[in-house]
Structure 1
């Protein structure tokens, strides 16, 4: 769908009507007009695009349709994602990443072995988000297999994406939700992790510990809903962006060399790697920024619905009950916004004169306004630490025949996770 939307925008311009009551924008003004705080009472989340997978259609999490409930949840959860809190999670991020690096290092003995990087990074980010949320990983990396929670989360993401596209058939949607029960299964898993944390009386920095110390501002349904949303969103998007970045580095050897040289020059040993110093590496930041431009985690846009009689969006009048959004993939790949838009060039983020007319400000992977991603600071720390340690320890390549699954990946609400098989090599194997 994302590539079809891009073709429509290339043909018809910055505003495209995709259905009877659905409009896609790639105009820069649309970001502020759709997602800003001042519009949150005029434009709300579209329930069809954020389906509640419960029979009564209720939501008790940050993706709620109610602006007042959303504000309440953010106020309670914000301390767990502050700069101070994020720094307290850094030892956890390093510990889980080091387990990942150790496991992959053991694979280097087989020089002909290819690893499914999509799967390994899913395991790592799922372990990491569980460790940050509950104070304990799911041990996917240690056991080299998917925890039942990971399988359920993938089912939940796939099922919710499908429900989005049958949302106009109300009876069918409700039947499917009742038939599925997948969210209930996941919530039961979340409760077990919470109970485990309570029984252990762990004081390890975690989001659940912060909620415990806050004295119960959320009821059980709200705890279940918000922790479920955090676990799924926190692992799903970060794992994909790391896979995408690793893929683009593998297919652009010069970019890989620059990124690896920058990291290896900055740190004499892997033990010296820390987030404060990683932040100072401009090329490492640029390779992730460019991956986020090329393959945004939410490629088809986060829909909002106009709930007043009518409103102007990017100088276009939009009537009530219309679903509107910025199509990120189409915007980020549009030839009017970016030079060589379909090519991976981290240099566009580093003042390269070839890209002086690029509209870099349009790239908003974490959205903006009142619904900006609450975990963006944590996500950036995870991506920086994981990628820096991978580049310090390994080289990697990908054969031409293994590129197609990523290049032709389908995307609905999020990207479908096709396997990306890379050849992992000892550091320094690839020569300049």
Structure 2
């Protein structure tokens, strides 16, 4: 009793002690992270070094890539963007995404990025194991080769031609090119994956599977962020609306049904699953669950990114008439008939390739970062030692818009890719929109085929003009894994030929 009286008399309280200890912990943690942490030698804003909250806030608001770009302008080519994260804009691609010496091993994917899929089985994109990823890739890579693209050209051509037909039918009024490019790329990749399309172009509207996918991307973005703040991800999953969970189940059921139908085709055809079908359900092959999870990613990643780039290049061409005029002269001078435009013949269009490379730079379909984690013993990246268990990445948007890499980085100038002397000091090697190394984008050949043929057909068929409401279409777009794009309204005038 005496002890209790004495304690009360000096104002002692357990809540006060807990608060004092907590505040002391915060102060000590902040001091350690700013001055004593192994990453303290790397520059960056102190608040970002102390807490992940500034990074998280910018990610939630869709501004993270733009904010990181500003930080690089202020602090230099390597910036600490969280207590355990570094962002790069120098050519560190091989060190981060390749198999750098002397280990000759990949840096691991950041496992905290992805929640396990509903079926508990990872697909090609999210598989954390290098060995399992390599096995899956072997089963799919043949379907994305240059030879496969040539074999698959008749399938793609059907949708390229239908796009042009639909635009001729609808060009009396301004059209939303974001919508039409999405319709096309979804039809192409669904046919090449499932053996049948979603009939988006046929119906001139987005299929249910397609029209709801952006909600899932935003949700996945938030959930991936929440995993950095355990147990917030568990709380978010428990509070997710029933309607969203039902949509996810519907998506997966539709995907599984289409995939099952494709795998049961009696006469296998040349498409993305041809090789996987040969070794289906064998130790060297892929299981049905692996293919299902992979198919979901293929449909989204393989369509949205190409549609995004086509939307971006269309905008920048129409916003830069001198570039559009030069490209128009090349395409219309090269092809007498539209039927002459093929995936082989477009390889002669050197200026078009420069235009697309510049579009990939100024409006990268993947604007963010693809984090990797350094091994426990640490490693060397861009000539400097990085401690173990650090999340590292080249940020696409920041690297491509840095004045240290490109002269006049916010100007759309394809000539920087054609040898113009003004841009001789540009660091063109830093442009890697499809990443590098064993996990680079498997759909690179498909993307270039679609971009080059569709753009050539658009320029050959139509004179285009931006509508007034889309004059600043590129301004203020948020990034949630992909851009939240507004409609791109364009006036189309069919070219009249003798």
Normalised by the length of structure 1, the TM-score is: 0.93
Which residue in the other structure is 2:27 paired with?
none
Conservation of the 8 A alpha-carbon contact between 1:301 and 1:328: yes
| 1:5 correspondence with 2:73 | no
Aligned pairs, number = 424
Which residue in the other structure is 1:169 paired with?
229
Conservation of the 8 A alpha-carbon contact between 1:55 and 1:177: no
| 1:61 correspondence with 2:121 | no
Q: How does 1:196-275 map to 2 (within 5 A)?
A: 196-198=261-263, 201=266, 203-216=268-281, 217-275=285-343
| 1:101 correspondence with 2:160 | no
| 1:368 correspondence with 2:436 | yes
Which residue in the other structure is 2:251 paired with?
186
2: CA distance, partners of 1:42 / 1:135: 34
Instruction: Label 1:303 to 1:183 Cα distance change in 2 as closer, same or farther (>3 A).
Output: farther
1:20-40: CA deviations, max 9, x gaps?
A: 111100111x11110112467
2: CA distance, partners of 1:271 / 1:42: 44
Which residue in the other structure is 2:217 paired with?
157
Conservation of the 8 A alpha-carbon contact between 1:305 and 1:323: yes
Conservation of the 8 A alpha-carbon contact between 2:373 and 2:390: yes
Following TM superposition, the consecutive aligned residue runs of length 4 or more in structure 1 with deviations greater than 6 angstroms are: none
Conservation of the 8 A alpha-carbon contact between 2:98 and 2:106: no
Shift of 1:168: 1.4
RMSD: 2.0
Which residue in the other structure is 2:447 paired with?
379
| 1:34 correspondence with 2:101 | no
Instruction: Label 1:215 to 1:410 Cα distance change in 2 as closer, same or farther (>3 A).
Output: closer
Conservation of the 8 A alpha-carbon contact between 1:302 and 1:325: yes
User: Which of 181, 188, 206 lines up with 1:121 in the alignment?
Assistant: 181
Which residue in the other structure is 1:25 paired with?
88
Give 3-state SS (helix, strand or coil) of 2:435's partner: coil
Instruction: Label 1:370 to 1:381 Cα distance change in 2 as closer, same or farther (>3 A).
Output: same
Gaps of 5+ in 1: none
Q: Is 266-275 or 310-319 further displaced after alignment?
A: 310-319
Q: How does 1:408-427 map to 2 (within 5 A)?
A: 408-427=476-495
Conservation of the 8 A alpha-carbon contact between 2:156 and 2:188: yes
Instruction: Label 1:348 to 1:400 Cα distance change in 2 as closer, same or farther (>3 A).
Output: farther
Shift of 1:412: 3.2
Gaps of 5+ in 2: 1-63
Give 3-state SS (helix, strand or coil) of 1:308's partner: coil
Shift of 1:55: 8.1
| 1:318 correspondence with 2:386 | yes
User: Which of 46, 60, 75 lines up with 2:110 in the alignment?
Assistant: 46
1: CA distance, partners of 2:106 / 2:494: 55
Instruction: Label 1:48 to 1:396 Cα distance change in 2 as closer, same or farther (>3 A).
Output: farther
Which residue in the other structure is 2:57 paired with?
none
Give 3-state SS (helix, strand or coil) of 1:395's partner: strand
Shift of 1:41: 3.9
Instruction: Label 1:152 to 1:69 Cα distance change in 2 as closer, same or farther (>3 A).
Output: farther
2: CA distance, partners of 1:399 / 1:377: 32
Shift of 1:95: 0.8
1:408-431: CA deviations, max 9, x gaps?
A: 2111322222221112222269xx
Instruction: Label 1:128 to 1:268 Cα distance change in 2 as closer, same or farther (>3 A).
Output: same
Kindly name which structure, 1 or 2, has the bigger radius of gyration based on alpha carbons.
Answer: 2
2: CA distance, partners of 1:51 / 1:366: 23
2: CA distance, partners of 1:147 / 1:345: 36
Give 3-state SS (helix, strand or coil) of 2:137's partner: helix
